[in-house]
Structure 1
Amino acid sequence: MSDIDTDTDTTWLSSDDLEQVRGHLPIVYVEAIPVRVDGFGHVTEIGLLLRQAANGTISRLVVSGRVKFGERVRDALMRHCEKDLGPMALPQIPPATAPFTVAEYFPDPTVSGYHDPRQHAVSLVFIVPVDGDCTPTQEALDLAWFTPAEVVTPEVIGQMTGGQDRLLRLALAHVGLLP
């Protein structure tokens, strides 16, 4: 039997090719901070995944993933929300795909405060309301919802790595909820 790759998705690199590219170019990511909102659009809860972080630890993280070659940002955002939160999450992708911030992750944790030991990544970060039932899928072990006050407690912040706690504080400040 021949050793033929049957994967027909040509927008992904092989593991070896991805490692080669990561060593030479920044990779574009989207990140989504899932939120629940009340009838007035005020954030009432923030969803955080529990999964393995880039540094190998089990951490609380936001939805995150690479943008494929030829993929629109909004499509990547929807794909990763559905992949991490489940197909019934019903994410409300904003009509204009302008992120509330851009985070640059570096292998050296002292460069920006955002750390990914594998690569230099440029991440477009969005706050995404979700209306449906969320069930963690793929690599996620759990999804927990926290109030804005709970999410910045030392217990929750202590479970975050790579600068994700800073990203969360920026998101809260963006929606006027930083305690």
Structure 2
Amino acid sequence: MAKDSELEPADPRRAGADPSTPALADGWIETAEWELIQERMPIACVDFVPVRRDLTGTVELIGLIRRSNPFGDQALWCHLGGRINRGESVSAALSRHAAATLPGARISFLEADPLITMQWFPEEINPDRQQPNPWAHFGEDPRKHAISLCFVGEFEESDYKVAGEAARFEWFPVGDVGELELWPGSHRLITRVVAADGARNSESAANLRVAYSALAARALNHNTLVWQTPTLALAAQAFLMTIALSPAAATSARLIAAGLNLVLSILCLQLMTKHRQMLVIDREELAEIEQRLRLKTYHQRLRADRLSLFGRQRSGNWWRAAFVVLALVSVAIIILTAGGWG
């Protein structure tokens, strides 16, 4: 919904310029031309509601501005937004209006697509003006017909100011919105946006839980394979090392056993490293999903101060070092046996 400031646009670079000089700023429109445009065609806009969420991710508080009222003298509470300039993307328009109204505020828009669309009409051209409840489906704007793409803005703690058309900015519980003096249509916009956000979050949360279960199973499998690999390898290596180190065994048998032990050590190192890296990736993704679902995080690395000095050591590194030693021993046995020194 285009705001009051856009009824009489002003280009900061035109101070002292001849009124007949063409507009210099991108997207800037002469007042008379802007009024003519509003009379003849719908205006594309973006609208958004800043939100704060509870621990479950549900919208708990919404932010509204107090602004002037084209319907009368009393100021009204309203969502934020304004028109989209020619050549401007939706995301850029959202960021521009957020910065113009609340300079310094950190507001992010996580969804690329709007949650809902809203239509705004002057009373005299409202398609439902003959119906018992003419504003059941539309918002009212006495200045123009507008079509707005509506979003929620994730509000982060930050130092900000109130500027532009906003006289004040305050937070309200979602359940209290109906008791406020709102811009006509704002209540419907807020209600629909919050409901659509809840539905999308529910669907997203369900999908995340499915992904979480699959990832948790895969992480458990990788963790099992990380330690299953050296266990099985050691059993085979113990047999091979018995042959490689036996003076009674034939030279060829000792060389073959030592060579197989070397190959087995390298394969074990590669498998342990691969499964360990895959496990780390899965745990990082699990921790991210836990944060998004507002769950207790179980897959972050433990703080070192909670473990003993010996417990802080990475077991995987110790095991890989042991297999490197076994590989070097195999090389030494091959050299000594082949040279006739073993």
Q: Which has the larger radius of gyration?
A: 2
Tell me, yes or no, if structure 1 residue 174 matches structure 2 residue 189.
no
Q: 1:148 aligns with which of 174, 193, 200?
A: 174
Q: Distance in 2 between matches of 1:2 and 1:149?
A: 50
Identical-pair percentage: 29
Instruction: Choose 111-120 or 37-46, whichever is displaced more.
Output: 37-46
Q: Secondary structure at the match of 1:122?
A: strand
1:135 and 1:143 in contact (8 A); partners too: no
Equivalent pair of 2:46/2:149 in contact (CA under 8 Å): yes
The residue number in structure 2 matching 1:25 is: 41
**1:54: how far off?**
3.9
Pairwise CA distance, 1:39: 5.0
Residue number in structure 2 paired with 1:100: 115
Length, aligned pairs only: 171
Q: Which moved more, 1:99-108 or 1:54-63?
A: 54-63
Q: 2:155 aligns with which of 117, 122, 130?
A: 130
Misfit runs of 4+, over 6 Å: none
Q: Report the counterpart of residue 77 of structure 1 in structure 2.
A: 94
Greater relative contact order (CA < 8 Å, ≥ 6 in sequence): 1
Deviation at 1:7, TM superposition (A): 5.5
Q: TM-score when scaled to structure 1?
A: 0.85
The 5 A counterparts of 1:58-73 are: 58-73=75-90
Letter in 2 for 1:121: A
The question of whether the paired residues in 2 share the 8 Å contact of 1:113 and 1:162 is answered with: no
Deviations 1:103-123 (A, max 9, x none): 110112536431111111010
Distance in 2, matches of 1:134 and 1:43, equals: 21
Task: State the Cα distance separating 1:175 from its structure 2 match.
Answer: 3.3
More deviation, 100-109/50-59:
50-59
Instruction: Tell me if structure 2 keeps the 8 A contact 1:35–1:46.
Output: yes
Residue 66 of structure 1 aligns with an amino acid whose one-letter code is R
The amino acid of 2:144's aligned partner reads Q
Q: Which residue of 1 aligns with 2:211?
A: none
Q: Deviations over 1:46-65 (max 9, x none)?
A: 00100013435411000011
Are 1:115 and 2:140 an aligned pair? yes
The offset of 1:149, in angstroms, is 2.0
- For residues 92-113 of structure 1, the C-alpha deviation after alignment (integer angstroms, 9 at most, x for no partner) is 122x421111111011253643
3-state DSSP of counterpart to 1:11: coil
Which moves more between the two structures, 55-64 or 124-133? 55-64
Q: Which has the higher helix share?
A: 2
Q: Any stretches of 5+ residues in structure 2 without a counterpart?
A: 1-15, 200-342
Q: What is the DSSP-based 3-state SS (H/G/I as helix, E as strand, rest coil) of the residue aligned with 2:50?
A: strand
What amino acid maps onto 1:133 in structure 2? D
Conserved 8 A contact 2:53-2:61: yes
Cα distance in 2 between the residues matched to 1:134 and 1:126? 20
Higher strand share: 1
CA distance in 1, matches of 2:65, 2:75: 10
SS state at 2:40 partner: coil
Output the TM-score relative to the length of structure 2.
Answer: 0.46
Unaligned runs of 5+ in 1: none
Question: Relative to structure 2, which stretch is displaced further, 136-145 or 35-44?
Answer: 35-44
**Is the Cα contact below 8 Å between 2:58 and 2:198 reproduced in 1?**
no
Could you tell me how far apart the structure 2 residues matched to 1:122 and 1:79 are? 18
CA distance in 1, matches of 2:81, 2:69: 11
Q: SS in structure 1 opposite 2:187?
A: helix
Task: Note the C-alpha offset of 1:85.
Answer: 1.8
Amino acid at match of 1:103: M
Equivalent residue number for residue 43 of structure 1? 59
Q: 1:21, CA displacement in angstroms? A: 0.6
8 Å CA contact 2:23, 2:30 repeated in 1: no
